[in-house]
Homo-oligomer: A and B are copies of this chain.
């Protein structure tokens, strides 16, 4: 099965590297939830295309780009060359020189150019791991189509255009999947889900569930099941990769904060006072972010308990490992013709599981439901 990557950054590169190393038998598939249980094997995944808008990456091989992030890069990545994607302000305010297809083309033309490239390479699953965007959702399909057709470059973000292009592409080739691992609402935007249904596109999204957020979900489920009353939750995150740098931008940060906070309410049923956000950027921390949580709750007879959780978590591998499942599940959904979006998949893998009307549930339970959707025996149910 053939995969295209949008955004050859840290996540995109660790995904590429780890995948090849597993295929080479160099490492165990740790961090890949369903590893070798799915009918489609990890060995079947093939990266065939990569797109970026960072001038210093376009035209380079994926191998060369990966070398910036990791030492032991498999040779097989020398065959894929990073192509120019759609930019639309994605890297605005970041210390990176950018260029995009839309610099010289209308949005419609840029979309067609992408589709052409995907057809040529036989792409089946498109993985979106671009820089976090500041965006406005559409909700209305007609409005979305109009924005693209009328070339309203200020109204749309790169991810929205990519998802639109994926719809058009799926319609033409008879089926494809778009994995939206970033906060921009796609699986939670009715405009896209509707268009996808009509177009034979599978969408998974939004925002890959890694790090402190899904752990918090399970920890508060644990408290909630014992009817312990949460007084407050504090969650700090600080990291040194470009994603944290991008999040110092207030507008982008809001996209993340929203996703992270909604989980709490979804699970508890009430919204305890909380302070949950990606808090800062500090370069030498690198990709191994530092998280710190403080939770105070009321136990039986009014007793006050406190949990303090600290962690050092490698940010990019966490998402990259999930992607190894998601591309395969995407292919399975295409085969089953479950177009639109699939809540059972999103509920486990995404911070903000689409569709919009569906809520977060405890991850530990979402896992069992996912297994059943994937045709596997639940582990403990």
Residues of B within 8 A of A236 (CB): 236, 279, 292
User: Is the Cβ of B300 less than 8 Å from the Cβ of A307?
Assistant: no
Residues of B within 8 A of A368 (CB): 365
Which listed residue (B215, B221, B321) contacts A299, Cβ 8 A?
B321
Residues of B within 8 A of A105 (CB): none
Which listed residue (B274, B285, B299) contacts A31, Cβ 8 A?
B299
Q: How large is the interface on A (under 10, 10 to 19, 20 to 34, 35 or more residues)?
A: 35 or more
Distance to closest chain B CB from A319 (angstroms):
8
User: Is the Cβ of A321 less than 8 Å from the Cβ of B218?
Assistant: no
The complex places the Cα of A361 from the Cα of B228 at a distance, in Å, of 21
Is A146 an interface position by the 8 A CB rule? no
Which listed residue (B18, B294, B367) contacts A300, Cβ 8 A?
B18
User: Is the Cβ of B227 less than 8 Å from the Cβ of A33?
Assistant: yes
User: Is the Cβ of B292 less than 8 Å from the Cβ of A282?
Assistant: no
Residues of B within 8 A of A273 (CB): 282-284
Which listed residue (B14, B219, B227) contacts A301, Cβ 8 A?
B14
CB-CB nearest in chain B for A27: B302
For A297-324 the 0/1 string (1 means CB < 8 A from B) is 0111111111111111110011011101
The complex places the Cα of A330 from the Cα of B31 at a distance, in Å, of 42
User: Is the Cβ of B312 less than 8 Å from the Cβ of A306?
Assistant: yes
Which of A35, A214, A368: most chain B Cβ within 10 A?
A368
CB-CB nearest in chain B for A229: B30
Is A84 an interface position by the 8 A CB rule? no
CB-CB nearest in chain B for A18: B301
